[in-house]
Amino acid sequence: MASFALALGTATKNKDGKIIEAFFPTPTLNPSDSLIVALADVVKYEEGNQFFNVEASQCDAISAAFSEADHQLAASFAAKAATSNQPLVLVILANDEKPASVAEGFLKLQLISQRLAKPHTIVLDGIFGLLHNIAWTNQGPIDLPELAERQIEARLAGETLTVDCVDKFPKMVDYVVPAGVRIADTARVRLGAHVGEGTTVMHEGFINFNAGTEGVSMVEGRISAGVMVGNGSDIGGGASIMGTLSGGGQLVISIGENSLLGANAGLGFPLGNRCTIESGLYVTAGTKVSMLDAGGAEVETVKARDLAGKSDLLFRRNSLTGKIECLTNKSAVELNAELHANN
């Protein structure tokens, strides 16, 4: 009974009893057969990808199952959940397939943000259409059709209901804060982002879901959905990377290790290791690039997509001719080790 993932968590339901979000503090990837069998006996699980509304009376048995499988954090959470008034949900995913429920979708997003899975390694097809806009407030998530009534109730009680944002995806840090990161404005990192240890996200930096960094990186620009940035790379202030939800289409755009995307620059094709795109230069896959030899003479003209994944390249715009040129990059980015220790 091999399975892909499972998790016990709390859920928020709207007035119709439908789950609008779910929090899974201790998700498990590739759980053991014995754990699946034990949990199946509690919730009457048989096969496939399913979620179950859990009763408080079932929590002790679930806690025992996790404990027997040596998942002590999950066991502790299940034991504490027995006294909670919040709706509880157990998700069991036999296969890594397109999520079919909100609970499944939120589990998969948290697998990425918990660093249990990297972007592009699990199936998230259709998740944007599966989730719907929610008001994320200081009183928790609220289904939009219920927001006006909740605002009135709060005012009549002498309180203010603060709406932080209206979005399908919440802030990552409301669900998990990965070790060794620094995020100046937490609203700019969505749940489902993979933030590598040692990464610093400055105030104007942004990381979308199913995207992120491998390790130590400086993020002052935008990492769009689907984009992965290698260890030691720097995304300069105001810089932009095309994502799979925008102009990038289905092309997976990435940046290799120790590369620099200069301030206000842009990227629309996969960049290799130790590459630099100068400030203010936007290079898309179809951009025509003049290749220069060691002496600065033009050798040929190619499209940027032909250079995808190649390392040690410097892209610049000739200030006299306006041509975009590419030559050997003589120096790689070196990020300040103390700045990114993030202890």
List residues with catalytic annotation. Answer: 220
240 is in an annotated binding site: yes
323 is in an annotated binding site: no
* Residues forming a β-bridge with 13: 19
263 is in an annotated binding site: yes
CB atoms within 10 A of CB 26: 18
Contact 109, 29 (CB under 8 A): no
Locate all alpha helices (DSSP H) within the chain, ordered by sequence: 33-43, 59-68, 72-81, 102-113, 127-130, 147-156
Q: Which tokens go with 252?
A: 């997976």
CB-based burial label for 257 (10 Å; 0-12, 13-18, 19+): buried
286 is in an annotated binding site: yes
311 is in an annotated binding site: no
318 is in an annotated binding site: yes
Query: Distance between CA atoms of 162 and 138, rounded to whole angstroms?
Result: 6
CB atoms within 10 A of CB 79: 16
Residue 264, C-beta contacts closer than 8 angstroms, at least 6 positions apart: 236, 237, 238, 239, 279, 280
319 is in an annotated binding site: yes
68 is in an annotated binding site: no
317 is in an annotated binding site: yes
Known binding positions for succinyl-CoA: 222, 237, 240, 263, 278-279, 286, 303, 316-319
Known binding positions for Mg(2+): 204
